[in-house]
Amino acid sequence: MADHSTVNGSEIPVYNLKCIDLANPDIHQSAAVLKQACMESGIFYVINHGLSEELMNEFFGQMKKFFALPMDEKKKLFWNQSLRGYRPPAQAVIDNKTQQKDFGEAYHIGVDVAKDDPNCGKFFYGPNIWPPAAPPHCDLNFITLLATDEIWGLQICREKNAQPQLWEAIPPVKGAFIVNVGDMLEMLSNGAFRSILHRVVFGKERYSTGLFLCPSHDYVIECLPTCKSEDNPPKYPTIKTGDYILSRFRQLAADTVKDNKAV
C-alpha cells in the first residue's frame, strides 16, 4: 500500500483505516477493533457486509446513467421541501465563511412515510422523489455508511482543530463500506468517539453513495452514563435529535445571511 497519494499535483500522506470483518466469528475482537477505530479516527472499513459485488456494480451503473441524463431531465426531479430528490451543482453552501459551494451533484432519498403520518412532508421526512468536492465538514448525523467506486478522492483530518490541518488520503477498497462517526455519536460518547472531519478532492469523475443514519426526531441525545464521571462531566448539552438538526440548519442559514451582508 502506498504511503502517499498525489491529487492535483500535491502529495499527501495515506492513512490506512482499520477494517471490521463482519464474517469474523470472534465478536470480541471485532468489537475491540471497532472501539479503537472510533476513538482514534472515527472512520473505518466494513467488509463481508452481505451486499454482493454484482448488486453494487448494478447500483453504481444505474447511478452513472442517471447523472449522465440531460440537465432538463434531472431538474424534473428537483429536490422538495423535505430535501428529497435531485440537487444540481452549486445548490448547497457548505463553508459559510468563504461561501464555498458544493459543486457535486446529488440525489437524496430517505425512508418513505405514509401520507397520514403526522410527520409526512416535514423537514427530512418524505415523500421521496423517484425517477421514472465537497468542502471539509463533519457529518451531523449518528453514523454514515459510504460506498464508493475505486477512484481516490476521500481525505480525512484526524485533528480537526489543529492548525495547519493535516490531510490524509483514504484508499478505496473494493467491496468495502467506509463507515464514519458523526456528531451525534460523538455527543453520546462524550467525545470518546470522534466525528471525523473529511472532504473530497476532485481530480477525476467519481461516484459514491452514502447512508446517513439518525435517531428519530424525538430521541434525546445525551451523554451515556458509562461515558461520564465526576472527572469527566458531559461536554455537550442534552437535546432532541430534531431540534439539533434544525439548529444546525438555522445556524447555516444565519451564517449565510451574515456573510452576504458582510460582502
Fold of 4-262: Jelly Rolls (2.60.120)
- Write down the domain spans for the chain: 4-262
Q: Which three cell numbers stand for residue 188?
A: 453520546
148 Cβ neighbours under 8 A, 6+ residues apart: 154, 172, 178, 206, 207, 208
Q: DSSP secondary structure string, 69-138?
A: S-HHHHHTTB--TTS-EEE-TT-EEEETTTTEEE-S-EEE------TTSTTTTSTT---------PPSB-
The pTM assigned to this predicted structure is: 0.58
Q: Which three cell numbers stand for residue 215?
A: 435517531
Residues in the chain: 263
Q: Which helix (H) or strand (E) holds 40?
A: helix 27-40
To which residue does cell 461516484 refer?
207
To which residue does cell 504511503 refer?
3
What is the pLDDT tens value at each position of the chain, 263 positions in all? 446 566 555 688 889 999 999 999 999 999 999 999 999 999 999 999 998 888 888 888 888 888 888 888 888 877 766 667 878 776 555 666 666 666 678 877 777 777 777 777 666 666 666 554 566 889 999 999 998 888 888 899 998 888 888 899 998 888 889 999 999 999 999 999 999 999 887 656 678 888 899 998 899 999 999 999 999 999 999 999 989 988 887 776 655 444 444 43
Q: Which three cell numbers stand for residue 97?
A: 465563511
CA dihedral 221, 227, 230, 232 (to 10 degrees): -90
Distance (Å, whole) CA 212 – CA 180:
10
The count of C-alpha atoms lying within 13 angstroms of the C-alpha of 235, restricted to the half-sphere facing its C-beta, is 14
Burial class (CB in 10 A: 0-12, 13-18, 19+), 205: exposed
